[in-house]
């Protein structure tokens, strides 16, 4: 299925806007601050989580000058496979509401059900130095790739993070003079072991498949990477250790680290501390040592490998690239556009200058974004 229309109501800078989609690739161009990224963010909400900006629901509501809080807002997408049509919607019904609602064909649904229809994958300028930035950002990026192919992974990571917060709250309350209940800690660590083992196993399996896809891509304009996962649980999973034994290792490690975590005020052990590593194969050096352009090219190759893996599935993969041409030379820009077309992807690309997308003229739909209006240019 492909998106044929996107409608925004009181979302970010848009009071009301509709973007009809008639092509596989859509180029959104216009000056900085025009609202291009807002459109990508709206599309990124058709998946579990907070979207590409990681914003809260109240932050997404439109504000007029003088308004202190965001308005109630809604985003709707229409999808079709040429015969059947599906309408996906999300938003909040009251200003300031913290929890957004998801609807599929008008019926309230769990956010995870969105993955039955769409699998958005995105890259933003913040990821142009992904391999030299914070470890947590790399792991979050990789987890999104994992659950785009394995929706159960999102539930495992969510369950793990919830139990982790509860455990830390219990430990830090105890550090302030209220002894932590060891039975409650035991119960939370059992949950952490089960969810953490499931997440680690899914990560290890995804890494193996993605590495094979990258290797199969051969000599392309985008550099190849040798990927790794630095984490005890993921290492055990890669070695074929059972989920039950991985869960036991996580529980034991959590129990040993209670005093240290209480003193530090943060959890210093567990799969949330794992890291995605990458070696630039041609240069035989860590990706973190590369330029912004090299790191972006490595990230794009990883994303394209994932999209190739997802192609042909019922739930449509869509690519969202914010400031797509940034840090890419003309050869790699043209190669990126060719790869998107070859994979038969639906893609939404943003940039300030339409000339940077010149190789896509006649192959993509160009939309001028300015002053809260969307002008289709064909």
Is residue 229 within 8 A of residue 276, CB to CB? The reply is yes
Asked if residue 331 lies in contact with residue 221, where contact means CB atoms within 8 angstroms, the answer is yes
- Looking at residue 176, what is its pLDDT? 54
What pLDDT, on a 0 to 100 scale, did the predictor assign at position 175?
52
Phi and psi at 356, nearest 5°, equal -65, -15
Which pLDDT does position 67 carry in this prediction?
78
Look up residue 284 and give its two tokens.
């035989």
CA 369 – CA 349 distance, rounded (Å): 12
| pLDDT tens sequence for the chain (378 residues) | 899 999 999 999 999 999 999 878 999 999 999 999 999 999 999 998 899 999 999 999 998 887 777 899 999 999 998 889 999 999 999 988 889 999 999 999 999 899 899 999 999 998 889 999 999 999 999 999 998 889 899 999 999 999 999 999 999 886 555 667 899 999 999 999 999 999 999 999 999 999 999 998 766 678 889 999 999 999 999 999 999 999 999 999 999 999 999 999 999 999 999 999 999 999 999 999 999 888 998 999 899 989 888 877 778 789 999 998 888 888 889 989 998 888 888 999 999 999 999 999 999 999 999 988 899 997
The pLDDT value recorded for residue 219 is: 60
Burial label, 27 (beta-carbon count in 10 A; 0-12, 13-18, 19+): buried
Burial of 111 (0-12, 13-18, 19+ CB in 10 A): middle
Residue pair 337/325 in contact by the 8 Å Cβ criterion: no
Whether this model's pTM surpasses 0.75: yes
Name the phi and psi angles at 310, rounded to 5. -85, -15
Phi, psi (degrees; rounded to nearest 5) at 134: -65, 140
pLDDT of residue 179: 66
The confidence score (pLDDT) of residue 174 equals 63
- Residue 177: the pLDDT is 57
Q: Which residues contact 260 (CB under 8 A, 6 or more apart)?
A: 268
User: Which residues are CB-contacts of 362 (< 8 A; sequence separation ≥ 6)?
Assistant: none
Backbone angles phi, psi at 149, to 5 degrees: -100, -25
The values of phi and psi at residue 80, to 5°, are -150, 150
β-pairing, 373-376 vs 285-286, is unpaired
pLDDT at 6: 97
Q: What is the longest distance spanned by two Cα atoms in the chain? A: 68
pLDDT at 38: 96
Backbone angles phi, psi at 106, to 5 degrees: 85, -10
Q: Tokens 């250790």: give the residue.
A: 241
């Amino acid at each position: 299925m492909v998106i044929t229309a996107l409608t925004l109501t009181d979302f970010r800078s848009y009071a009301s806007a509709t973007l009809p989609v008639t092509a596989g690739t859509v180029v959104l161009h216009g000056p900085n601050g025009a609202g291009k990224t807002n459109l990508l963010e709206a599309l990124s909400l058709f998946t579990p989580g907070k979207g590409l900006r990681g914003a809260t629901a109240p932050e997404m509501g439109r504000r007029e000058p003088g308004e202190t809080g965001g308005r109630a807002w809604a985003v709707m997408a229409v999808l079709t496979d040429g015969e059947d049509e599906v309408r996906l919607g999300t938003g909040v019904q009251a200003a300031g509401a913290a929890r957004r609602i998801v609807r599929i064909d008008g019926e309230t649904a769990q956010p995870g059900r969105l993955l039955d229809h769409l699998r958005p994958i995105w890259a933003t300028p913040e990821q142009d130095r992904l391999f030299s930035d914070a470890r947590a950002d790399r792991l979050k990026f990789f987890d999104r790739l994992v659950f785009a192919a394995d929706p159960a992974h999102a539930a495992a990571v969510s369950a793990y993070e919830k139990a982790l917060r509860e455990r830390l709250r219990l430990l830090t309350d105890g550090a302030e003079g209220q002894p932590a209940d060891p039975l409650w800690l035991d119960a939370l660590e059992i949950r952490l072991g089960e969810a953490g083992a499931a997440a680690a196993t899914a990560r290890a399996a995804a890494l193996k498949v993605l590495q094979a896809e990258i290797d199969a891509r051969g000599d392309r304009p985008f550099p190849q990477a040798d990927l790794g996962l630095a984490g005890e649980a993921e290492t055990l999973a890669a070695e074929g250790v059972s989920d039950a034994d991985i869960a036991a290792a996580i529980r034991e490690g959590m129990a040993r680290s209670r005093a240290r975590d209480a003193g530090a005020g943060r959890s210093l052990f567990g799969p949330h501390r794992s890291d995605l590593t990458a070696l630039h194969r041609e240069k035989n050096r860590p990706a973190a040592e590369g330029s912004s352009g090299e790191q972006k090219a490595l990230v794009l190759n990883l994303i394209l490998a994932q999209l190739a893996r997802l192609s042909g599935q019922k739930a449509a993969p869509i690519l969202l690239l914010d400031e797509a041409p940034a840090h890419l030379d003309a050869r790699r820009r043209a190669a990126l556009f060719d790869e998107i077309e070859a994979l038969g992807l639906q893609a939404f690309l943003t940039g300030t200058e339409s000339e940077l997308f010149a190789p896509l003229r006649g192959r993509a739909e160009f939309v001028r974004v300015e002053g809260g209006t969307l002008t289709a240019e064909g």
